[in-house]
Amino acid sequence: MSCRHVFPDMTAIACTSFTEAMFMVERGDADLAMIPLENSTAGRVEEIYRLMPKTHLHIIAEHFEPVNHCLLGIKGTAIHQLKTVTSHPQALAQCDQHIKQLSLEPIAGYDTAGLASEISKGNDVTRAAIASSLAAELYGLDILQENFQDVSGNTTRFLILSKNAGLAEYEADSAYITSLMFTVRNIPAALYKALGGFATNGINMVKLESYMGSGEPTGSRFHLDIEGHPDDRMMQYALKELAFFTQEMRVLGTYKAHAFRASNRLLPE
């Protein structure tokens, strides 16, 4: 649905995993990948942070998609007949309270639409899936309950990835996000020192995530989103200070901030 909303004239290719989607773009078999990074209710999609360093993809844009999770069953199913519900762990987490209210057993699977397709091929009225209204349309399922998510305003942030770098041209009156990954040097207070340049230069950090992805027990990697463009002089000073205190630093992309940020002032971290 996100692909439809952002790229209505492009052909969407379904993939069985985020890994497959990202490496299709890496190989040149697809132009873009649209990958969810975080949700306002369930938090980050952790595996994306580990996948990004394994590719050479660039972030060229972001998109915030309002989530309408639907409880789906085969034709003729009544809610009181249900015993289990299956979906991606993120979707299950976003609907946890409603699942408990119906006393359903949650069963985690690899992707929402694929699981909706799976139950559509059977004849079991005790099984439900949590997926989109589009999945119901595609697989001929009944929508037993719309807006099944626990929190209204539930929103997922997507990254749009490309094989080619697409640095947005700097315009003084536009808002930008720069995303990067880095590993700090093994010295006391390295992270504090690395990020200090953003404070002294008036650059706002909107997201900081740590994760282990190098195979080593030390040297955590960090994903950082900051408000700014590398062509801005103060941003250049901040990035130079960050680079001094890091073992490695990779700018993933600079792109215009989505309009959702201005109206909602960011997802909770």
Does position 48 have pLDDT exceeding 80, yes or no?
Answer: yes
Buried b (16+ CB within 10 A) or exposed e, 156-165: bbbbbbbbee
The pLDDT value given to residue 190:
87
Mean pLDDT of 220-239: 93
Q: Of 156, 178, 183, 246, which is the active-site residue?
A: 156
Q: Which domains are seen in the chain, by residue range?
A: 2-65+156-264 (3.30.70.260), 70-152 (3.40.190.10)
Which residues is 129 bridged to in the sheet? 72, 86
- φ and ψ at 210, to 5 degrees? -105, 150
User: Residue 137 — φ and ψ, nearest 5°?
Assistant: -65, -45
Supply the pTM of this predicted model.
Answer: 0.81
Considering all CA atoms of the chain, what is the largest pairwise distance in Å, rounded to the nearest integer? 63
Name which of 37-46, 197-206, 221-230 the model is least confident about: 37-46
pLDDT of residue 173: 87
pLDDT of residue 167: 79
Residue 80, pLDDT > 60, answer: yes
- pLDDT grade, residue 267 (50/70/90)? very low
Whether 113 contacts 2, CB under 8 Å: no
158 is catalytic: yes
Averaged over 186-199, what is the pLDDT?
Answer: 91
Write the CA distances from 16 to 73, 85, 128, 129, 170, integer angstroms. Answer: 22, 20, 20, 17, 37
For the chain, the average pLDDT equals: 90
Q: If we measure between CA atoms, which residue out of 251, 183, 243 comes closest to residue 212?
A: 183
Q: What is the pLDDT of residue 265?
A: 56
The residue from 158, 182, 198, 222 that is catalytic is: 158
Nearest-CA neighbor of 108 among 84, 87, 83, 132?
Answer: 87
